[in-house]
Structure 1
Amino acid sequence: MAASNEWGRVDDDGAVYVRSADGDRSIGSWQAGTPEEGLAHFVRRFEDLETEVSLLENRLKSPSSDPAAMARSAASLKESLPEAHAIGDLASLGDRLDGVIAQTAIKKEQAQAAKAHARADAVAAKEALVAEAEQLATSTQWKTSGDRLRSIIDDWKAIKGVDRKTDDALWKRFKEARDAFGKARGAHFAALDKQREAAKGVKERIVAEAQALADSTDWGPTASRMKSLMSEWKAAGRATRDSEDKLWTAFREAQDRFFAARSAELDSRDASYVDNQRAKEALLAEYGPKIDPAANLDAAKAALRDLQERWEQIGHVPRDAMRPLEDRMRSVERRVREAEEAEWRKSAAQSNPLLLSMREGVEKAQKQLDKAMSAGDEKKIAEAKDNLAAKQQWLAEAEKSVSL
């Protein structure tokens, strides 16, 4: 007895047919069992074909699927359908395979578009790296820029998808920028090495001079020269790396030796000047009540001249007492001078230009003495005192002549 369904049949003699739009097509013979078993066998073959189509349809949903390979598989499978030894709706399988082929075409276009976009992004990324390298080519931040140029190479290697021609052109630009930076950096450090060699020579001379002065006892001029050598050292710039610290150590040792010796000498000298300090303090205490220009200007001036004469005879005082004592002395002198100026302006200043000029000369000499006292320069202090004393003497004589 024959077996059949809506898509095919197996006759009693074992002939197998599948139905199609063009009529029944013979697909083989079944002799291994009953017609029902034969029908089931060829239906399973159809189901196998249907499974393949379903697999292709599912693969379309995967982002990583290869649309070209899927299109080839679908086309090959469809070409086999007219000769397929299977019973089922082969036409519907053909329609589904047509759908798969159409979708693969869309996916292929999308993949090509994505690939083109990825390539454009990759080219843009490498162009950005080249632009950065070209900007760094003129940088003088040698370490930071050099490190970045090296790391750009790692970034470059990580970017894929650029065609060979474009990649070669961009790499050429990057290499030119990197080479330009390397050349500029090399020139910079070559010039720096040259400068440091020159600085080394200057500092070697400074060290030699400092060492020659280290045992000098000409305290004032030598101290001044040591300070000048320090200024020259700073202006010379850094010497070569292997010599800078050694030269600095030698220079400091020479300076320390001199200033330590000078300090010891001045401390010893200060100790011997303590009695002078006490004597000047006693003078100020003694003459303070006597010098009252408001009460008697002439008596105050006479007392001040006596004080000044005795003050100079006493001599030096310790360094830390010099400024306070001189300030107290200047205060006494200023009181007399201001009173004298007030008195003088009332009389001689308006009628005698010569006296006015001489008075201005005394004021100028007094300011020079004050400046020398502030600086603590003993040589200039002595010169300023002599100059002031001379101008005060000339003024006093001129004032006497006017009053006669």
Structure 2
Amino acid sequence: MSSDPWGRVDETGTVYVRTSEGEKVVGSWQAGSPEEALAYFERKYEGLVVEIGLLEKRVKTTDLSAKDATAAIDHIRGQIDEHHAVGDLETLGRRLDALVASVEARREERKARKAKQTDEARHAKEALVAEAEELAQSEQWRAAGERLRALVDTWKGLPRLDRKSDDELWHRFSHARSAFSKRRKSHFAALDAQREVARQAKERLVAEAESLSGSTDWGPTAARYRELMAEWKAAGRAQREHEEDLWNRFRGAQDVFFAARSGVFAERDAEQSENLKLKEELAVEAEKLVPVTDLKGARAAFRSVNERWEAIGHVPRDARPRVEGRMHAVERAIQEAEETEWRRTNPEARARAEGLTGQLQAAVDKLRAQIDAARAAGNNAKADKLSRELEGRQALLDQALKGLEEFGG
């Protein structure tokens, strides 16, 4: 018979293992010596030790599932319970118990982590739904559309919830996207209709602009082109594929007209600039007639200057008031000289002036006599009143005498 601290072999070849509950039969050994029997079953024990060690390491360092870990533990425990090894089987059992606790702790940890992930996923999806429902009312079509597509990608990256919750949230999310797409489609349909109306309006404007491009009725046509431009802006934009072509035709028609007008105006400006030089020379000639000393000669000379002036033609608009003003000043000086001569030589006017002067002189003399009488009588109040009246009559007399001097004395 052979034995060691954990087992023995009796004389019949039966192998036993020692436990706290007493010896347990491990097996029967008939193929060799008792020592060989114990060594064989001890190697089986060492195999269990290695297997448990590997399982402990896998549980600790890998993501071995609780199900697979439990199956491996049960397999090893079955071997231990069958007592097919010689060694400290109870210690191995305790290590397996510790593994079970560790696996269960990991199971609870994973369960909690999964619950947390699920809760986070629920909150994330609820946030996506809320944002999508807000975006569904947006009119920022491009930005909102791009954001909704990004939300879909984000949704696909989140874990699934329970079927009921996930379906309900997805239904709201999908409904928001559909509502936005429907509104956007309706908006662009209306926009397309507006652009078609704009295209038709601009086609008419282009046709009229092209029909006017050859006009030489410069003022009214230029005014009409300004009106057409205002109508163009008010018409709105046509479809992108038509807008540029219509604008090029519209602008091209205007360019043809305004280029022709500019050519004519340039020629006209050159002619009017030359006219201005000639009229400025005539203005200088006319201004030499002032002051008027020979009325008859001045009239004849001014008539000659004026005839040549009228024959010259137009000058630039901005220079017209200045150069014509110089001629008008000379004309007024001649007219004033004529009026003065007429008054000086008109017998009826002279007689009226003399009569008025005589009447005023008599009135002044009378007032002076009345003032002297009032003061002599001591009536100073009356004298002062008559003095004020005398001042007015004297002023009229002085004016009349000045007018009479114009008739030569």
Establish whether residue 77 from structure 1 lines up as the match of residue 97 from structure 2: no
Separation in structure 2 between the aligned mates of residue 180 and residue 312 of structure 1, nearest angstrom: 80
Separation in structure 2 between the aligned mates of residue 162 and residue 310 of structure 1, nearest angstrom: 105
For structure 1, the 5+ residue unaligned runs are: 293-301, 337-402
Establish whether residue 260 from structure 1 lines up as the match of residue 242 from structure 2: no
Greater C-alpha radius of gyration: 2
Is the CA contact (8 Å cut-off) linking 1:45 and 1:85 kept in structure 2? yes
Give the match's secondary structure for 1:273.
helix
Give the match's secondary structure for 2:60.
coil
Structure 2 counterpart of 1:277, one-letter code? L
* 2:172 equivalent in structure 1: 173
* 2:207 equivalent in structure 1: 208
Compared CA separation, residues 156 and 284, structure 1 to 2 (3 A): farther
Is the CA contact (8 Å cut-off) linking 1:68 and 1:108 kept in structure 2? no
Is the CA contact (8 Å cut-off) linking 1:75 and 1:101 kept in structure 2? no
Establish whether residue 317 from structure 1 lines up as the match of residue 315 from structure 2: yes
TM-score of the two chains, using structure 2 as the length reference? 0.70
Structure 1 counterpart of 2:315, one-letter code? V
Is the CA contact (8 Å cut-off) linking 1:3 and 1:10 kept in structure 2? yes
* 1:33 equivalent in structure 2: 32
What is the CA-CA distance between 1:84 and the residue it aligns to? 1.7
Compared CA separation, residues 309 and 82, structure 1 to 2 (3 A): same
Structure 1 counterpart of 2:185, one-letter code? G
Separation in structure 2 between the aligned mates of residue 241 and residue 74 of structure 1, nearest angstrom: 73
Establish whether residue 55 from structure 1 lines up as the match of residue 57 from structure 2: no
Compared CA separation, residues 186 and 312, structure 1 to 2 (3 A): farther
Is the CA contact (8 Å cut-off) linking 1:215 and 1:257 kept in structure 2? yes
Compared CA separation, residues 235 and 280, structure 1 to 2 (3 A): same
Separation in structure 1 between the aligned mates of residue 91 and residue 38 of structure 2, nearest angstrom: 19
* 2:227 equivalent in structure 1: 228
Compared CA separation, residues 286 and 57, structure 1 to 2 (3 A): farther
Structure 2 counterpart of 1:238, one-letter code? R
Structure 2 counterpart of 1:251, one-letter code? F
Structure 1 counterpart of 2:131, one-letter code? E
What CA deviation, in whole Å up to 9, does each residue of 1:137-160 have, x standing for no partner?
122222232233233322222222
* 2:86 equivalent in structure 1: 87
What CA deviation, in whole Å up to 9, does each residue of 1:51-98 have, x standing for no partner?
222122112212512123313432443244232211100111111111
Separation in structure 2 between the aligned mates of residue 67 and residue 175 of structure 1, nearest angstrom: 37
What is the CA-CA distance between 1:197 and the residue it aligns to? 1.5
Separation in structure 2 between the aligned mates of residue 311 and residue 62 of structure 1, nearest angstrom: 118
* 2:351 equivalent in structure 1: none
* 1:345 equivalent in structure 2: none
Compared CA separation, residues 72 and 327, structure 1 to 2 (3 A): farther
Compared CA separation, residues 41 and 290, structure 1 to 2 (3 A): farther
What is the CA-CA distance between 1:327 and the residue it aligns to? 7.5
What CA deviation, in whole Å up to 9, does each residue of 1:314-338 have, x standing for no partner?
54225xxx43x357559979x99xx
Separation in structure 1 between the aligned mates of residue 324 and residue 162 of structure 2, nearest angstrom: 91
Structure 1 counterpart of 2:203, one-letter code? E
Compared CA separation, residues 97 and 235, structure 1 to 2 (3 A): same
Please report the RMSD computed on the Cα atoms of aligned residues, expressed in angstroms: 3.1
Is the CA contact (8 Å cut-off) linking 1:7 and 1:18 kept in structure 2? yes
Greater Cα shift, 53-62 or 216-225: 53-62
Separation in structure 1 between the aligned mates of residue 65 and residue 211 of structure 2, nearest angstrom: 88
Separation in structure 2 between the aligned mates of residue 141 and residue 51 of structure 1, nearest angstrom: 67
Compared CA separation, residues 269 and 104, structure 1 to 2 (3 A): same
* 1:148 equivalent in structure 2: 147
Separation in structure 2 between the aligned mates of residue 71 and residue 159 of structure 1, nearest angstrom: 30
TM-score of the two chains, using structure 1 as the length reference? 0.71
Compared CA separation, residues 37 and 276, structure 1 to 2 (3 A): same
Give the match's secondary structure for 2:152.
helix
What is the CA-CA distance between 1:115 and the residue it aligns to? 0.7
Give the match's secondary structure for 1:209.
helix
Q: Percent identity?
A: 48
* 1:398 equivalent in structure 2: none
Separation in structure 1 between the aligned mates of residue 225 and residue 104 of structure 2, nearest angstrom: 90
**Number of residue-to-residue matches in the alignment:** 320
Give the match's secondary structure for 1:16.
strand
Separation in structure 2 between the aligned mates of residue 159 and residue 312 of structure 1, nearest angstrom: 95
Is the CA contact (8 Å cut-off) linking 1:46 and 1:88 kept in structure 2? yes
Is the CA contact (8 Å cut-off) linking 1:9 and 1:18 kept in structure 2? yes
